[in-house]
Structure 1
Amino acid sequence: MNKPIRVVSVFCLVLFLALLVNASYLMYVRADSLSDDPRNRRIITATFSRERGAILVGKEAIARSVPSDDKYKFQRTYSQPYKYAPITGYFSWYGQTGVESSQNSVLAGDDSRLFVTRLVDMLSNSDPKGGNVQLATNAAAQDAAWDGLEGLPGDAQGAVVALEPTTGRVLAMASTPTFDPNKLASHDFGAVADLSKELNADPREPLINRAIGTTLPPGSTFKLVTAAAAIESGNYDADSQVPGGYRFKLPQSSTTVGNYDGGNCGGRRITLTQALQVSCNVTFMSLANELGVDAMAEQAEAFGFNDTSLEDLGGQAESLYPRDLDPPQTALSGIGQSSVTATPLQMAMVAAAIANDGDVMRPYVVDEVRAANLSVLDRTDPQSISKAISSTTAEELTTMMVATVDSGTATPAQIPGVQVAGKTGTAQSTADRPPYAWFVSFAPADNPQVAVAVLVQSSDTSRSEIGGGRLGGPIAKAVMEAVINQ
């Protein structure tokens, strides 16, 4: 073989080997990343050309795919977009969020539980269909939660979470401001890209599900955790005498902190029940200081702090109780201030655990996975994740919370003929912005069916009128009534 032919042969061999290496690299190394790349139009066309499964609340499909008159064959639609967007998320050419993301393999028809369905479709030469996802949501509770947030004055920011205490079912999860997932599911990809940029740049952060993605100081609702730690120590019960008075001097400091209303909580010595009824800051700072950071942290973590629990919905933020608080910070943590932060879901879990004899149930939004013919393929089993408090402590706290609704700061949550347990919270923020309003509750107190947490992050309410009971109480009441009256 002469030299020119040998050079050409070697060059062709090198090109062949390079092609082989590149093909192997693409198929075995980069296959997943290329499939997930939003710029991969082939994947987009294939995904949009398959009938994606529905997301159901009761018998209503709140998200489904309908035939379209373009090359993508199917258009994703949302029947109640703003109300359910924090749960459903969106299905778009550049990605998914919410249940659309966490249950994507089911909805797309790729989940292993749909193997038989895919096999039948192939043998019958039918177009493949995705599976359906049945949510645990209670439609009436979701309506009440959404209506409550919408009824807040001005361009409000807030969230509501309702749980079934004995199972952890998420009966309602609403967040405002929100967005229209129909617009993000459009086949006009240029318009979708523009809208996405607009939503991400919006200072109101409408794409965030505040129920699980926003952590703020829980304020006086955290006094339930402090009270739980005090009772669990064995030194206190609902009738124990505790410090009251006008002000508490932070340890190792010259700073004193008073009560929210500037009063003395009813005297220098009051019962623990009365302290919760009037939300006495002095009492719960004193208790946190006495218990110490380790006992407080252990109790908070038993309720779910410093961890995440919701496994079938992405976007969770971790509620925090730092273990490195100094004595002044530890005292302030007893009233839900200092560096303590919580999501509405976390505070709903605290209320639900008290309602459930101290057992913390893992929250879940997906109740069932179904095939396209609606046959049930899988069902979520309730799971206890911790024993936060004893049943005796839960009973004591319930008694105290009922007294708080009957004749304390939580009276706006009263339901005629129903015993309600509740606690208000007004968490201080920076000096240049209003406080955050919180409310947690459950009902009926003697046979709990629903536990609720409400956060009003901001609204057009004058600073002097902001309070957990005034803003959050009526919303929690409406959600509890929606569940109880069904």
Structure 2
Amino acid sequence: MRSLLAPVALASVLLLGSPDAHAAPRGLHRIRVTDGAVYGAVGGKEKPVRLTLDPRLQQKAERLLARSDAPEAAIVASDVRTGRILVWASRGGRDYVAEPHAPSASLFKIVTAAALLEGGYANASTETCYSGGFSSIKPADLESRGSACTTFGEALGKSINVVFAKMAKKHLDAGDLRRMAGTLGFTGELPIDVPASSGRVDIPDDPFGMARAAAGFWNGKLSPLGALFAMQTIANGGERVRLVLKDPGVPVARVVERRALDPRVARTLNRMLQVTTKRGTCVKAFRHADGTRALPGMAVAAKTGTLVGKKPARMFSWFTSFAPADKPEIAVAVMLANDLTWRTKANIVGRELLEAYFAGGRDEPHAR
């Protein structure tokens, strides 16, 4: 068992207060996997229906969650091109795929990055100099030029909190972040054919509070489904593609709800998110124990987040991704709510699911 004192990316470690009480769960119940199909009861309904899930990947995801030993956890994956849900797996007392149980933490930097790019305030090569602000941010951190400098593209992949706080304070307001959060699926109703709870974003109006929230500090809660939708939207060049979980009996058709991001912004975000697995917060997770590279020759776009909750005591970790980055096929989101001693983190679990998908033997959708 690893302890909380094991190395983590300091730029992603935040603190969380006590969680809110939750209403009755939504989403899936009594999932049953057969050789050729997956069935489950949707919402409060008792009768199971056939789902779009890939039986092989679903079983793999369930094994990964069981092996993680996290008290609460979830994995969800989709076919980027069609929005077909491939995996919907949860561990704990509720369906944590569709429930905003964990704070978004550093995943919220995706929202901030999109707002800065969409507003024309930055590009991937925009340079910011900084000091401090790794595990906390003070007002002085936002005024100091600092001796360390980095580009905006590197700052996202390396999850440098103070860079996002400084840039947000200079160029954005709370309304900008709230609007982009809704556009990417962090809040608001998600386009999917089953009930799912909306995420919550709390952005203070004062400049310092807004800047901290922009970096991922104390800014609401997100469901894995919402995280998946944000990454799927970026992978689709900025188009919001409807998610489908209930098997329609024919191959799932791609339905574009609307455009969320300018294609150029989506492409820039794609390149910035690749830094995460190449030299950012996820680089070690994409190396096996023997030092070999996971998914060799494949570019993977991803974002991580790590934080600690007090009541109950939890170490939350996030991983959300799509691959291959140059021609996306699959998007994945993983949330683990570990005890303060832990076996694994979300980035390892997510990488292993990606490896299972690209290992071959992919399910042919709706084969009868």
Q: Shorter chain as normaliser: what TM range?
A: 0.7 to 0.9
Give the residue type in structure 2 aligned to 1:343: S
Give the gaps of 5 or more residues in structure 1: 1-54, 64-87, 90-97, 108-132, 178-205, 259-263, 370-375
Alpha-carbon spacing, 1:62–1:99, altered in 2? closer, same or farther (3 Å): farther
Q: Which residue of 1 aligns with 2:36?
A: 60
Cα separation, 2, equivalents of 1:256 and 1:147: 46
Q: Which residue of 1 aligns with 2:104?
A: 218
Cα separation, 1, equivalents of 2:267 and 2:157: 16
Cα separation, 2, equivalents of 1:240 and 1:363: 34
Matched, 1:476 2:350: yes
Contact 1:329–1:338 (Cα < 8 Å) also in 2: no
Among 247, 255, 276, the residue aligned to 1:383: 255
Q: 1:313: Cα distance to partner? A: 2.4
Cα separation, 1, equivalents of 2:125 and 2:210: 24
Matched, 1:395 2:267: yes
Contact 1:246–1:282 (Cα < 8 Å) also in 2: yes
Q: Which has more helix, going by share of residues?
A: 1
Q: Which has the higher contact order (CA 8 A, sep 6+)?
A: 2
Cα separation, 2, equivalents of 1:221 and 1:230: 15
Q: 1:59: Cα distance to partner? A: 6.0
Q: 1:432: Cα distance to partner? A: 7.0
Q: Which residue of 1 aligns with 2:188?
A: 307
Alpha-carbon spacing, 1:365–1:431, altered in 2? closer, same or farther (3 Å): closer
Q: Secondary structure at the match of 2:321?
A: strand
Q: 1:479: Cα distance to partner? A: 1.7
Among 208, 215, 227, the residue aligned to 2:113: 227
Instruction: Note the alpha carbon deviations across 1:214-243, whole angstroms, 9 max, x for none.
Output: 332111122111111111111211111124
Give the residue type in structure 2 aligned to 1:455: M
Q: 1:281: Cα distance to partner? A: 0.6
Matched, 1:454 2:326: no
Q: Which has more strand, going by share of residues?
A: 2
Across the aligned residues of Structure 1 and Structure 2, the Cα RMSD in angstroms comes to 3.1
Q: Which residue of 2 aligns with 1:70?
A: none
Cα separation, 1, equivalents of 2:234 and 2:38: 32
Cα separation, 2, equivalents of 1:243 and 1:292: 21
Give the residue type in structure 2 aligned to 1:305: F
Among 304, 315, 318, the residue aligned to 1:435: 315
Cα separation, 2, equivalents of 1:325 and 1:338: 13
Q: Which residue of 1 aligns with 2:64?
A: 148
Cα separation, 1, equivalents of 2:253 and 2:129: 44
Instruction: Report which of the two structures shows the higher radius of gyration computed on alpha carbons.
Output: 1
Give the gaps of 5 or more residues in structure 2: 1-30, 287-293, 361-368
Contact 1:300–1:321 (Cα < 8 Å) also in 2: yes
Matches within 5 A, 1:11-410: 60=36, 62-63=38-39, 88-89=40-41, 98=42, 101=45, 133-153=49-69, 156-177=71-92, 206=93, 208-247=94-133, 267-290=147-170, 291-314=172-195, 316-322=196-202, 325-369=205-249, 381-410=253-282
Contact 1:215–1:317 (Cα < 8 Å) also in 2: no
Alpha-carbon spacing, 1:342–1:325, altered in 2? closer, same or farther (3 Å): farther
Give the residue type in structure 1 aligned to 2:299: Q
Q: 1:56: Cα distance to partner? A: 8.5
Alpha-carbon spacing, 1:247–1:312, altered in 2? closer, same or farther (3 Å): closer
Instruction: Note the alpha carbon deviations across 1:77-133, whole angstroms, 9 max, x for none.
Output: xxxxxxxxxxx13xxxxxxxx26729x5xx7xxxxxxxxxxxxxxxxxxxxxxxxx4
Identical counterparts, % of pairs: 28
Q: Which moved more, 1:144-153 or 1:435-444?
A: 144-153
Q: 1:255: Cα distance to partner? A: 5.3
Alpha-carbon spacing, 1:442–1:425, altered in 2? closer, same or farther (3 Å): same
TM-score (norm 1): 0.59
Q: Which residue of 1 aligns with 2:3?
A: none
Q: Secondary structure at the match of 1:427?
A: strand
Q: Secondary structure at the match of 2:80?
A: coil
Give the residue type in structure 2 aligned to 1:405: T
Cα separation, 2, equivalents of 1:148 and 1:461: 17
Give the residue type in structure 2 aligned to 1:276: L
Cα separation, 1, equivalents of 2:59 and 2:226: 21
Cα separation, 2, equivalents of 1:135 and 1:257: 49
Q: 1:385: Cα distance to partner? A: 2.6
Q: 1:324: Cα distance to partner? A: 5.8
Q: 1:366: Cα distance to partner? A: 1.2
Matched, 1:424 2:368: no
Alpha-carbon spacing, 1:294–1:474, altered in 2? closer, same or farther (3 Å): same
Instruction: Note the alpha carbon deviations across 1:172-220, whole angstroms, 9 max, x for none.
Output: 111102xxxxxxxxxxxxxxxxxxxxxxxxxxxx1x1001023321111
Contact 1:360–1:386 (Cα < 8 Å) also in 2: yes
Q: Which residue of 2 aligns with 1:15?
A: none
Instruction: Note the alpha carbon deviations across 1:1-33, whole angstroms, 9 max, x for none.
Output: xxxxxxxxxxxxxxxxxxxxxxxxxxxxxxxxx
Cα separation, 1, equivalents of 2:52 and 2:191: 13
Q: 1:273: Cα distance to partner? A: 1.8
TM-score (norm 2): 0.77
Q: 1:447: Cα distance to partner? A: 0.9
Q: Which residue of 1 aligns with 2:5?
A: none
Cα separation, 2, equivalents of 1:268 and 1:420: 27
Q: Which moved more, 1:357-366 or 1:425-434?
A: 425-434
Tell me the number of residue pairs that the alignment of Structure 1 and Structure 2 aligns.
Answer: 319
Instruction: Note the alpha carbon deviations across 1:431-455, whole angstroms, 9 max, x for none.
Output: 8724311111111111111111111
Q: Secondary structure at the match of 2:201?
A: coil
Cα separation, 1, equivalents of 2:45 and 2:252: 18
